[in-house]
Amino acid sequence: MAIANKNIIFVAGLGGIGLDTSREIVKSGPKNLVILDRIENPTAIAELKALNPKVTVTFYPYDVTVPVAETTKLLKTIFAKLKIVDLLINGAGILDDHQIERTIAVNFTGTVNTTTAIMEFWDKRKGGPGGVIANICSVTGFNAIYQVPVYSASKAAALSFTNSLARLAPITGVTAYSINPGITRTPLVHKFNSWLDVEPRVGELLLEHPTQTTLECAQNFVKAIEANQNGAIWQLD
């Protein structure tokens, strides 16, 4: 799917990988980039607008852990303004196995809920035009970091959910693929808590492996968007 002139919603588009991906998306010239994130970053939004003045960049505050009904209400506002949305990117994620409930809520339940909400507007059984979903999962979804089993399992769940979405495309008209970054140098992996403190140095040990920059990851993310293969499991490493 060519990004040019498309309308894109990016959940968590101001994070580590998210912000660099937003920059690469804006460079590719979409019509609208709507960023939904928990914390506003006016400096980053201003930078994105300046990067390509032809692109309309909009921000709405959004916490993926809210109920589906609240997400649907926000999407009604966005669809009323844009009329058409071509791509939804679900990118929210946390890495802290001390926060068990929130890890599952953000990494898995939030992805499910946001996807469920947008089906109200996209599902062809309701007269919708269909759409494309890109879910940011993780290589830990199929190769767990065993010291953080809650995080790894939440990403595996998101990956499985995405694979099912792809298989349901003939029914819903909505295609999907997963984006699975390898070890990327973001604040997320510098220091984090392992489950039951089984490995206090897990962050340090992880960074001893080959890593990539957020920019390298973002550039490959854009390639995956443009390839637009339903059911693809993209490993960005």
State phi, psi for 83 to the nearest 5 degrees: 75, -50
- 177 is annotated as an active-site residue: no
Burial of 102 (C-beta count, 10 Å sphere; 0-12/13-18/19+):
middle
8 A C-beta contact, residue 135 and residue 162: yes
Token pair listed for 56? 């309309």
Q: Please identify which of the residues 60, 62, 146, 151 carries the catalytic annotation.
A: 151
Which residues, other chains included, contact 113 with Cβ-Cβ below 8 Å and sequence gap of 6+?
Answer: 64, 66, 67, 68, 71
Token pair listed for 73? 């209400």
Which residues, other chains included, contact 187 with Cβ-Cβ below 8 Å and sequence gap of 6+?
Answer: 16
State the angle between helix axes of 149-167 and 110-122 in degrees (0 to 180), rounded to the nearest 10. Answer: 20
Give the number of other CB atoms < 10 A from CB of residue 140.
23
Alpha helical stretches, state H, 52-148: 68-82, 100-104, 110-122
DSSP 139: G
Show which residues are catalytic. Answer: 151
